[in-house]
Amino acid sequence: MTNTTFCQQIETYAKSLQTKLKIEKKSKNTISSYMQTYKSFIEFCKQHYKELSFQNLREDDIYAFIEYKSATMNKQGDIATSTANGIISHLKRLFKHIERNATDEAYNFDKVFEDIKLKQPKRVPKGIDGKEVKKILTYLESLKQKEIFTNFRNIMLFKLMLFGGLRASEAVSIKLSDINLTEEGDLYKITFKGKGDKSRFTYIDVDAIEDEINMFVNVFKLSKDEFISKTSTGKHMDRIQLSKMVNSVYKRADVDISGVHILRHTAAKKLKTQVPLEVLKNLLGHSSIETTSIYINPTEDMVKKQMSGVKLYGL
């Protein structure tokens, strides 16, 4: 089997897996990420020194691909460990798909991947400190002086991420009908499709967004089925436009930070002090408690406070 033939087969199986992922309702971003990996793997195989086949694929070939990917993605250094592990995960999924669907021979790629695991350094997500949050909120509050839809739209999108912990893609997907008062009347429940097209919800205190909701309903006459993230031309704001807006607010608020996802991290770090880990996992839409636990890094004083007064075995 020449590398050309091997690459053609990889491409065929990748397209087949793409169809499977679509049927499984994986998000467009997830599918795109998988397919980018497979496209790169095919390009790597075309120029690899070794004539590859499904029979002679080895662990070393996967590591060689990671090096190739690192060189093509980042000219100034190695790619992040999380990125490399994501690439390995994509390849594992592809070769499992090949195992299940190959008709000419029974393949088993377990030995190729069983010992490939790059150690992920403990990650401490960055958040915005309290003083900077106040500066941002003060600037956003000043936008209310003019009854302009885009001003209140921007405030609302910021608060969905900063108070509710929504991802960028989730924030721009919110419609007015997704925001409803709870029976107690002290919270707004926001319902939406999260990562992986999973239904989820979060809550935001009424006082935090009541002004914005009232303006959308009573002044701007936003219909229930319209996106909060509607642009001035009536189109649906995308994540690139959201990112530009967020960075513009930082600049105008005189805060030296950038990026949208830091708002979600800030919400998580604030919430972790007030809700149990399992509740935080649910609010953030994490599939694993391990993902949520990156926000938990108790200090010695916190541990001492929790253990004060604890009596074990009735002693």
Which CATH number is 21's domain given? 1.10.150
Expressed as residue numbers, the domain containing 67 is: 3-113
Query: Could you tell me which of 35, 29, 44, 2 has the C-alpha nearest to residue 16?
Result: 35
* Rounded Cα gap, residues 252 and 186, in angstroms: 32
Q: In terms of domains, do 135 and 22 share one?
A: no
pLDDT for the residue numbered 74: 58
Same domain, 12 and 87: yes
For the chain (length 315 residues), average pLDDT per consecutive 10?
A: 82 96 90 94 90 92 89 65 88 96 90 82 72 95 96 96 88 94 91 77 91 96 94 90 94 92 83 68 66 59 54 54
Measured distance CA(308)–CA(296) in Å, rounded? 19
Both 100 and 162 in one domain: the answer is: no
Please indicate, yes or no, if residue 118 is contained in any of the structural domains: no
pLDDT at 121: 59
Residue 250 burial (CB count, 10 A) = 19
Residues 82 and 51 occupy one common structural domain = yes
Per-residue model confidence (pLDDT) at position 297: 58
Residues 91 and 220 in one domain: no
204 near 187, Cβ under 8 Å? Answer: yes
Number of domains in the chain: 2
Q: Read off the pTM.
A: 0.59
Write down which residue in 113, 138, 163 finishes a domain.
113
pLDDT of residue 284: 72
State the CB neighbour count (10 A cutoff) for residue 96. 15
pLDDT tens digit string along 149-179?
Answer: 999 999 999 999 988 888 888 999 999 999 9
Neighbouring-strand partners of residue 189: 180, 203
What gap in Å lies between CA 17 and CA 307, rounded to an integer?
51
On whether residue 204 sits in a domain, the answer given is yes
Residue 204: helix, strand or coil by DSSP?
A: strand
